[in-house]
Amino acid sequence: MKDPDSYRSGVKPVWCPGCGDYSVLSALTNAMSALQLPPEQVALISGIGCSSRIPTYVNVYGFHGVHGRALPLATGLKLARPDLTVLAAGGDGDGFSIGGNHFLHACRRNVDMTYIIMDNEVYGMTKGQASPTTAPDWTGSDLTPAGTGLTAFQPLLLALVTGANFIARCFSGDPANLAEILVEAIRHPGFSVVQILSPCPTFRPEQRQWKNQVREIPDSATADFRSAARFLMEDDGLSVGRILYRTDRKPFALSKNRRGDISELDMEFVL
């Protein structure tokens, strides 16, 4: 029986005090323990950013790769090794700006893996610039002293219309609920998207109030596309704690006769 601590690498996280990502790490190791995932059968892939450090802190196979490229790497890995549990993790900047196009197509392809997005509406690692999910009137960055003036990205609405199989939003301040949602996301076949509101107390100190502002999503998960779309279009982004949408569209996978053998690849390099 593997307890949550056995999924921790022993490396001390370097996140700022009060960062919501600490709770995400705890929820993830709790979810892995609940599922009793063999560490050698799990791969955790990330890009660049504060949240993308998470593979370092988890005792499974990990890859801390290029900015915005977690999803194509994770997709390729899952298609080549469908026996593995594949998780991708990152933040709003990594996933929705630099990696935005990959996010669209990962939803569309619907490969069986889970994408964990730690959304703090800011680029924390590079000292607090506005990200795609930042509100247009946020004036906390010297680069945008009058706000961005840009419409904030709505990641879950986009995930829905581009084909994600499982969509949920959680709050890092409720790690027990978050762990339960992650368990469901990992179990669910297809591309699962879990957006986590994860406060950045250093560059967005006002996000400490999220604990007083979030509210539980009123209804249970729906498989009705129109209902989910209507809810997401009317929501202010602070509804959390439930699965919003879950459907059974068949995940994309390569048939066995389309997967090459590594020995065939080796032969291409034989002179």
Over residues 235-250, the pLDDT tens digits come to 999 999 999 999 999 9
The tokens describing 161, both together, are: 């219309």
Is residue 62 within 8 A of residue 42, CB to CB? The reply is no
Residues 170-229: tens digit of each pLDDT: 999 999 999 999 999 999 999 999 999 999 999 999 999 999 999 999 888 999 999 999
Q: Which pLDDT does position 219 carry in this prediction?
A: 83
Q: Please report, rounded to a whole number, the percentage of residues in the chain having pLDDT higher than 70.
A: 94
State the CB neighbour count (10 A cutoff) for residue 248: 11
Cα–Cα dist 27/24, whole Å: 5
**268 falls in which pLDDT band (50, 70, 90)?**
low
* DSSP-derived 3-state class of residue 170: strand
Cα–Cα dist 207/232, whole Å: 21
Residue 260 has pLDDT above 80, yes or no: no
CA dist 68 to 62, 63, 100, 182, 211, Å? Answer: 16, 13, 8, 22, 29
Nearest to 94 by CA among 69, 130, 126, 120: 69
Strand 166-171 relative to strand 242-246, pairing = antiparallel
Looking at the 3D structure of the chain, how many domains does it have?
A: 1
> From edge to edge, which strands make up the β-sheet containing 166-171?
61-64, 42-46, 85-91, 113-119, 191-197, 166-171, 242-246
Give the residue numbers spanning the domain of 67.
4-269
Strand 85-91 relative to strand 42-46, pairing = parallel
Q: Which pLDDT does position 250 carry in this prediction?
A: 95
Q: Name the residue with higher pLDDT: 95 or 219.
A: 95
**265 falls in which pLDDT band (50, 70, 90)?**
low
Domain holding 84: CATH number?
3.40.50.970
**Region 40-59: what's the mean pLDDT?**
97
Q: Give all strands (DSSP E) within 65-120, no chain letters.
A: 85-91, 113-119
CA atoms within 13 A on the CB side of 63: 19
Q: What angle do CA 138, 144, 145 make, to 5 degrees?
A: 75
Cα–Cα dist 195/168, whole Å: 6
Looking up tokens 């994309």, which residue turns up? 252
Cα–Cα dist 172/25, whole Å: 9
DSSP state of 16: P
Q: Which pLDDT does position 93 carry in this prediction?
A: 96
Strand 42-46 relative to strand 61-64, pairing = parallel
Q: Which pLDDT does position 169 carry in this prediction?
A: 98
The tokens describing 4, both together, are: 């949550």
Describe the crossing of helices 155-162 and 225-234 by its angle, rounded to 10 degrees.
160
Q: Which pLDDT does position 2 carry in this prediction?
A: 94
Cα–Cα dist 111/132, whole Å: 24
